[in-house]
Amino acid sequence: MFNGMFVGVQPGDKTGWEDEKDCISSDMKFQLYRPLMDRLINEVCVSMNAINLSFVEFVILKALVSFKSSSCSDVTTGLKKFMHVHMDTILRALNVHYQSLGMNKEEIAHRTGNVILMMSSIFAVGMECMESHQKIQFFDLWQLDDLLIKLIQRGGGTTTF
């Protein structure tokens, strides 16, 4: 979790799903977060495993998601251009990495496409997470972390590729 905590993901595992004193009940936590956790596992983690995502590809994906999500924020045109240039550089570095592994152009295109397509699942789950936290804040279901509230208020825009 963003705050360093963790929850069990196996069916029936109650680790991390306990009541939080003066904060949120176990039932409320499970109701709010389990569907999101399941979606994250099924749409992101299972997909990463299915394509056998390497550590290098994971790092590239993380960098692309970071740059893309930041470039959709309220930043200057010059900074957006800067970020897009660096995203192109990251993709070129991925291409060089694949070439160093001896992949042909078709394999490189396929792997690169898989990495880029992972971004849409990550952003979709991220948007659902933001919506969930906005509901928690709106209905005052429990007190959110101040940093998380700032991120929610700053985010909320849609991402296009």
pLDDT tens track for 61-95: 999 998 887 766 677 888 888 888 999 999 999 99
Residue 6, classed as helix, strand or coil, is coil
pLDDT at site 2: 59
Torsion sign (Cα): 146, 151, 154, 156: negative
pLDDT tens track for 33-44: 888 889 999 999
Q: How far is CA 55 from the centre of its chain?
A: 16
Question: CA-to-CA distance for 23 and 111, rounded, in angstroms?
Answer: 44
Closest C-alpha among 97, 88, 40 to residue 68:
88
* Mean of pLDDT over the chain: 84
- What are the residue ranges spanned by the domains of the chain? 55-154
For 21, 123, 153, the CA distances from 142, given in Å and listed in that order, are: 11, 25, 17
Q: Please, where are the H alpha helices in the chain?
A: 26-40, 46-50, 55-71, 77-100, 105-138, 146-154
pLDDT in 10s for each residue of the chain, 161 residues:
656 778 888 888 888 888 887 777 888 888 888 888 899 999 999 999 999 999 999 999 999 998 887 766 677 888 888 888 999 999 999 999 999 999 999 999 999 999 999 999 999 988 888 787 777 777 776 666 665 566 555 554 444 44
Question: CA-to-CA distance for 114 and 138, rounded, in angstroms?
Answer: 36
| Helix axes of 105-138 and 77-100: crossing angle, nearest 10 degrees | 140
Residues written for the chain: 161
Closest C-alpha among 121, 145, 140 to residue 51:
121
